[in-house]
Amino acid sequence: MPRILVIYKREDDPRKNTSIKMVRKGLAERVRPGSVRRGVVLDPFSKDVLGAWLRGEVEAGGVVVVDASWKKLHPDVFRGIRGIHVKLPPLLAANPVNYGKPCVLSSVEAVAAALYITGFKEDYVKLLGLFKWMHTFHELNKELLEEYSRASTPAELGKVVVEYWGVNPC
């Protein structure tokens, strides 16, 4: 499994936090922003999008997720984090807080999607078992995830987004 690095901002209940559960289960490691040297940083403010073409970067440096409240999230949170900053293509949330909303994923949903899209499908399946609702995430997004994972360029991925969503909802 590629490394999963969590920058935890302590903005919600740690007992319900998806990134902390990934850490507790040994699937991720908690790090400080300045300690990240490389990898793919999931950054919803980025102009660039995650795609299969970043598999080598994920393999070499891992996936970095910033666990912060969507209500408090600001681009400044991502400053100083080294790596390739990308946003995920649109997906539907299945977590109990944001169920059915496009682009408002929990940390575990975002990391799982990043792994699937970049070709780490077996590792994606490991994350599905962490929460009951992750199987719903899979059902809601399986066709999109597969289409996104087949796109070999940002232009191809953009076409998939337009075909499915019309206008990017993120």
Q: Which residues are annotated as a binding site for S-adenosyl-L-methionine?
A: 18, 66, 88, 107
Q: Which residues are annotated as a binding site?
A: 18, 66, 88, 107
Q: Residues 6 or more apart from 129 whose CB is under 8 A from it?
A: none
Distance CA 7, CA 30 (A): 6
Question: Are the CB atoms for 151 and 160 separated by under 8 Å?
Answer: yes
Residue 4 phi, psi dihedral angles, 5° rounding: -115, 115
* Neighbouring-strand partners of residue 8: 67
Tell me the C-alpha to C-alpha distance, in Å, between residue 88 and each of 49, 64, 73: 6, 12, 16
Helix or strand or coil: residue 43?
Answer: coil
